[in-house]
Amino acid sequence: EHLGDASLLAPYLAALPEPPALPLHPLCWPRTLRVEAMLGSSPQARMLVRHSRIRGLINAQAMVSAGLARTEEEAVWAHVIVESRAVSLRSKAGSLELALCPLIDLLNHQLPGHSRPTACSFSASEDCGHVRL
């Protein structure tokens, strides 16, 4: 995003939702929201929300410290985008890594005037590193 229009991903980044449009992620919930009151009957849900918020804030602070984001808000946005849109792909080293795949992301949307969203599935080829749609 720092490259602006010079980035090859500029059109994709411009299509991503801005922070106000990401209210479903716990990091985007108002800090005044009482999670205990909302999820009082589910200790598991409270723990997952708390863990997601803590992990997200730690990641955001690390991004700012490393110079990967200018502000905590920008880092939180990046974290939420990756966490909500990324797919897991196996790296050359063999570990599972999160990756944004713009084509897959853009295919999985509901088209205006259609009653059903389009669905895209993919499989990653472990031997050659390609993604097959």
C-beta atoms surrounding 61 within 10 Å = 14
Question: CA separation (Å) from 93 to 21, 101, 104, 127?
Answer: 35, 19, 23, 12
pLDDT confidence of residue 58: 92
Q: With bands split at pLDDT 50, 70 and 90, how would you rate the model's confidence at 94?
A: confident
**Percentage of residues in the chain with pLDDT exceeding 90?**
7
7: pLDDT strictly greater than 90: no
d(CA 103, CA 121): 11
pLDDT confidence of residue 20: 66
User: What is the token pair recorded at 49?
Assistant: 């929300």
pLDDT in tens, 98-119: 888 787 777 766 666 666 666 6
User: What is the token pair recorded at 56?
Assistant: 């997200």
**Percentage of residues in the chain with pLDDT exceeding 70?**
74
Overall pTM surpassing 0.95 (yes/no): no
